Every structure is written in structure tokens, then in C-alpha cells.
Amino acid sequence: MCGIIGIAGDQSVTNRLLDGLKRLEYRGYDSAGIAVIENNKDGDILKRRRAQGKIVNLAERIKQEPVDGVLGIAHTRWATHGAPNETNAHPHFAGRVGLVHNGIIENFSQLREQLKGKRSFQTQTDTEVVAHLIDEAMNTGMSAKDAFANTLKQLTGAFALGVIIDGIDGTIFAARRGCPLAIGLGDSENYIGSDAMALATLSTRVIYLEEGDWAIITKDSVEVFDENDTAVVRETTIVSTSMAAAEKGNYRHFMLKEIYEQPETVSHTLTHFIDAFHYKAKTPKELELENLDWRKLERLSLIACGTAAYAAYVAKYWFEQLALMPVDVDIASEFRYRKPALSKNTLAVAVSQSGETADTLAALRYCQSKGLQTAALVNVLESTMAREADFAMPINAGPEIGVASTKAFTSQLTALLSLAIAAGVQRGHISEEREHALIQSLTQIPRLITETLKLDKDIEALALDLSKAKSAFYLGRGVHFPLALEGALKLKEISYIHAEGYAAGELKHGPIALIEEGTPVIVIAPSDEMFEKTVSNMQEVSTRGAKTILITDAKGAKHAKDMADAILICPEVCPETAPIVYAISIQLLAYHTAVHLGTDVDQPRNLAKSVTVE
Ligand code: AGP
């Protein structure tokens, strides 16, 4: 994931920026760069040095062509829009503006169109557009502060920004929307960083910007403004100097941090699997899956365990609906023992966060022994599955520390939906126009996740009731049936409350006998074509005393306003991407229930992050 660091002070910054980038290496990246305002005989000049690959390459570049100053920003980039090369590496320059960015600017194409004829672009990145907007606004006479604030209002998406401007001495402009950004306080120096880790050796006094905040930082001052440009005072946290605590930042648990990272992590998954610049799903060749041809495949076999298996179950609907490709989904521990009748033209995909799960690895090896093409969709590219499969596909979610999988799940879903779209296009079932619309919907996910995270307090309140229950049901139809399974798993594994996920239409075939007064039933139902039927299933349990929580959108809430005991209103989402956005609400529901119960959220009893035994 991208990393940002900046220093506004009165001492040399270059080496400390490089040190800060090194502390961000754990996030993964493919290029890096720094920009400083260098003070020399010609006055202050904005300069940068960038390099593809690791930070050692950047350090070498700086050694060859030194730059330094007392104000600077730096960035490790995870290829977003545009190839992972030096040209597309941050910081991006436009006129007097130098800028680093993390996340995704959803409407960059439209903004680029607005600047056509006025500005010449050097890259294909979404980031560069932001630098041009700020510079263009200042060309019209706007102050730097107003130009920055005005530009933020034009952006749609999930992002964190750091900006320095030639002629605006000693000042960093920063903003946070969907992607975390922190301010570090020093002695006649102040800093910005993606997280406490980035700032760990610079400061232990940290201000975590809140959603929509932006800030102006100099060596002696920090001004923070909320999304309405009102000056606000944000709390200063004293961060433990321990790296582990720093990694958690201002979150109580790794799981909560990873839930909140999802606008950023989904952005990174997206950029590997789609070309948002051209609104296209990447072909297998572009994904370096050279011999994979979706047209020649008869079947897909998705094999996984636990949360990863539920991502695979969702993907079955996508591949069959979008690519008309038959899909088998198997729990890995069952797969090879059922002696599956496999056909040669089947691609077997192991879906695994760790890439080490013994059952899934054994299933992968079984498929290889039967002569199938195999792929591994993993979060750990150095894992055994990634090494042994014919194709390795990274979900780029960054290290997932919490045992209960959250960001890996939404990144697995994002990757699988992107692949299903690519398969549909290649097999001739998705028109260019529909592909454009689907890719547009994919690029909206980080922002919609950010919107859903704003429901956190409402969900925490619902969780208080749920924490008193002895058992619970999760219901869903279509792609939301596997999401119901995942919701129940999340609740079980971290709160230890028994829960069952069920196809909403199936409850009346037996399990409804378990419904009694006060049984909590969580119903996942956006206002899609299945909504009416799902709501009537909800009423079947309500009449038998169930306490229902309906997770829907505004339209669904309006329709069902008197039918559920509680309604959680999620943002409007298209049917295809809904499971990815709705996953956030069930993750937060399980998280807050567990916190109410005081369980060990990050390392629940009996569980392991990677189950390397059968
Ligand atoms: C996830 O919440 C659990 N830790 C578990 O179900 C996990 O998803 C399963 O063990 C598979 O792990 P993997 O994705 O690393 O293969």
C-alpha cells in the first residue's frame, strides 16, 4: 500500500524522509520518490528525485544527484493508475505544486477532461490531475489555502494527500478522505505520515486526522479544518514507541484498523486487476497470466477455507452471471475426498489470504496431479500456494494481522469480481459499454466503503443488544447468502456467540423452528430484485418473535420501515459490487459485539491466522 511522509522544519530533511519511507516498506510498493523545496542562490526551488523499485534505488539516485531542504514530502507508491515506473512515481509536479497521494481519485477522468487544452499531462495517473487543479486555481489568483480547499471539493474517491508549493515556504498541505493520514508534532518541526509507523522515529505526539479533515502544517503551527472548512482542534495522542503498538496506530485492535484500511486496500487490489484509466478489466495477458484464456475454459473450480471460501461462493454468482462460466466452489478440506469428477478444461483457483492453509494447498496439489491449470489468489505472494500454482494473483491487501479476516475478504471479492468481468468480456458476454459501467462501479467501492464506515456508531449501538444473545441468524439471498455465511462466521469467531448464515428462502425448511422471542436475525438485503422476497422471509421470523436487523439502502429502508426492529441504511450500491460494500457492516457488527463482550478480538480463542494443519 502507498506510504506518505512529510517534514516541515528547519533542519535537513532528505535523509529523514528516506528513513521514514523505509519504515513504510512493510506496506508494499513498487516505486518511491521525494520532493523538497531547496534553498539555493536562485532562491527556493521545488525539486524531486524518484526511482522505480526499492528505496535503495531512490537513495542511490539521491546520492548521484543530491537534493535537500528543510521542507519535503516523500512517498512509496503501489501502482495505482499507470504502470509502476519512475514517470508515474510520486511526487507528481504541476507548475509550482508537488504532490503525493494514496488511494483512488474516482472522477479523475472527468477532471482531466475539464483541464484539457489548459494543462499538459506527463502521466496516466489520477494523482497528477490533483496537482494541476491546485496550480490552475492559484493561477487564477487564489491563495494556496483556498486553492487546496477548493480542489478537495472537486475530488470524488478515497485518498490521503500531501502537498508542497513553490513560493509557499515551509508549508505542507494535507488531507484525509477514506485513507488514513496522521500529523506528528515535533520541536520547531512538524510532520505528516500515513500512520504512526511512518512517524515512529520523528514524534510520539500524533494527531490523527478524521474523515474529511485537511490541514496546513508549518514548523511552528498545525491548523486543522473539517470537511466544511471549519477550523477544528483534534486530539493529540501519545503513541507508544513500540513498533507493534505504532502499527495499530490509534486503533484499539488490528482488526478495527484493518476494517478501516479497506478503502485503501480495495484501491490497491483494484489497480492490479483493472485499468481504470481506460475503464477496462485487465486481460490475462496484462495480468501476466500468459497461458490463461477465459474462452478456452469450460469450468472454474474455486477452493478455499473459512472466510476465503465465502468470497469464492460470492464469486460463483459473478462468474456464472457475467461470464456464463460454470463454477464449482469447494471447502478445501472436503474437496479431494469427494473424488471430484474434474474435466481438463477447468481452472482450479485456490483462494487464500495466507497462501499456506494446509487443506487449500493440498487441494491445489490434487488438482495439479489431475492435470488442471491452477491459480492462487493470495495476499502473500511469497507463499507456498503462490509458488506452486501455475499462476499467482496478488490481492495486495497488505499484511493482515487480525486473525479474523476482514480486508483480505473485500480484496478477494474485488479481485474475483474484476476477473469475472474480464472473463465475461473475453468470452463475449459483456459489451464495452457494460464493461465501462462495471469498472466505474468498481472504482466507486473505496468511497462507498468510506461512507459505510460512517455507520460505525450506529452499528456499535446495535451490537450492544446482539452481545446479549445466545445465538443469532444471518439471512441473505443471491450474492448476499454467502455474505450471510461470512457474517455468521465473523460473529462466531470473535464474539463466541453461536450464529448461522442461511439462504433467506431456506429458513422455513426447518431452521425456523429455532426462532423464539428475541432471537436476533440479521437480514442482508439491498433494494435489488431479491429484496421483496427477502423482506417477506424477514416477516416470517418477525411474526415468530425474532428481533430483526435489516441491512439495506435508503430505498429498502423506506419500503420496510415498519417491518424490522432496526434498520441500518448503507449507501446506494450497484448489485454487482454490493457484497463488497455490505461486508463492512457485518464486520463492524461482529467487531463491536466482541468488544462489548471483552473477548480477544485480534487473537480469538482456539483460532490461528493461518491453519497449516489438516
Ligand atoms: C478467517 O476469519 C479465519 N481466520 C479463517 O476462516 C480463514 O479464513 C481460513 O482459515 C482460511 O485462511 P486463508 O485465507 O489464509 O487460507
Closest ligand 1 atom to 493 CA: 2
Matching residue, cell 489438516: 614
DSSP symbol at 89: P
Cβ distance 50 to 33 under 8 Å? yes
Tell me whether the omega of the peptide bond preceding residue 91 falls within 30 degrees of 0, making it cis. Answer: yes
Determine whether the shortest distance from the Cβ of 493 to ligand 1 is under 6 A: yes
pLDDT of residue 198: 79
Judging by beta carbons within 10 Å of its beta carbon (0-12, 13-18, 19+), is residue 203 exposed, middle or buried?
buried
**Sign of the torsion angle spanned by Cα atoms 81, 84, 87, 93:** positive
Cβ distance 305 to 331 under 8 Å? yes
Q: How large is the average pLDDT for residues 327-336?
A: 96
Kindly list the structural domains of the chain, giving each domain's residue range(s) and its CATH number in brackets, ordered by start: 3-250 (3.60.20.10), 258-443 (3.40.50.10490), 450-597 (3.40.50.10490)
Q: How large is the average pLDDT for residues 320-337?
A: 97
* pLDDT value at 247 more than 80: no
Tens digits of residue pLDDT in 496-521:
999 999 999 999 899 999 999 999 99
Determine whether the shortest distance from the Cβ of 162 to ligand 1 is under 6 A: no
Q: What is the mean pLDDT of the chain?
A: 93
* pLDDT value at 41 more than 80: no
- Is 2 an annotated catalytic residue? yes
pLDDT of residue 425: 97
Determine whether the shortest distance from the Cβ of 412 to ligand 1 is under 6 A: no
In angstroms, rounded to a whole number, what is the distance separating the alpha carbons of residues 581 and 136?
35
Dmax (CA) of the chain:
83
Q: How many of the other CB atoms lie within 10 Å of CB of 175?
A: 26
* pLDDT value at 80 more than 60: no
Give the contacts of 517 (CB within 8 A, at least 6 positions apart). Answer: 545
More confident residue, 264 or 23: 264
Rounded percentage of the chain residues whose pLDDT exceeds 90? 80
Q: How large is the average pLDDT for residues 338-359?
A: 94
In angstroms, rounded to a whole number, what is the distance separating the alpha carbons of residues 607 and 65?
51
Nearest residue (CA) to ligand 1, atom 9:
306
Give the closest residue to 274 by CA, choosing from 283, 265, 262. 283
* pLDDT value at 249 more than 60: yes
Tens digits of residue pLDDT in 549-558:
999 999 999 9
DSSP symbol at 373: E
Q: How large is the average pLDDT for residues 211-215?
A: 95
Tens digits of residue pLDDT in 173-198:
999 998 889 999 999 999 999 877 77
**Sign of the torsion angle spanned by Cα atoms 92, 199, 56, 261:** negative
pLDDT of residue 242: 65
- Is 574 an annotated catalytic residue? no
pLDDT of residue 443: 95
Range of lowest pLDDT (286-295, 417-426, 593-602): 286-295
Question: Residue 351: enclosing H or E segment and its boundaries?
Answer: strand 346-352
* pLDDT value at 124 more than 90: no
pLDDT of residue 373: 94
Judging by beta carbons within 10 Å of its beta carbon (0-12, 13-18, 19+), is residue 396 exposed, middle or buried?
buried
Determine whether the shortest distance from the Cβ of 405 to ligand 1 is under 6 A: yes
Q: How large is the average pLDDT for residues 121-131?
A: 90
Q: How large is the average pLDDT for residues 376-397?
A: 93
Determine whether the shortest distance from the Cβ of 360 to ligand 1 is under 6 A: yes
pLDDT of residue 104: 86
pLDDT of residue 302: 98
Matching residue, cell 441473505: 476
In angstroms, rounded to a whole number, what is the distance separating the alpha carbons of residues 411 and 405?
11
Task: Give, for ligand 1, the residue of 378, 401, 610, 614 to mutate: max count of ligand atoms closer than 8 Å to Cβ.
Answer: 610
Tens digits of residue pLDDT in 90-104:
899 999 999 999 888
pLDDT of residue 173: 98
* pLDDT value at 352 more than 70: yes
Task: Give, for ligand 1, the residue of 349, 354, 600, 602 to mutate: max count of ligand atoms closer than 8 Å to Cβ.
Answer: 354
- Strand, helix or coil for residue 79: coil
The alpha carbon of 612 and the centre of ligand 1 are apart by a number of angstroms equal to 10
pLDDT of residue 592: 98
* pTM recorded for the entire structure: 0.85
Matching residue, cell 415468530: 544
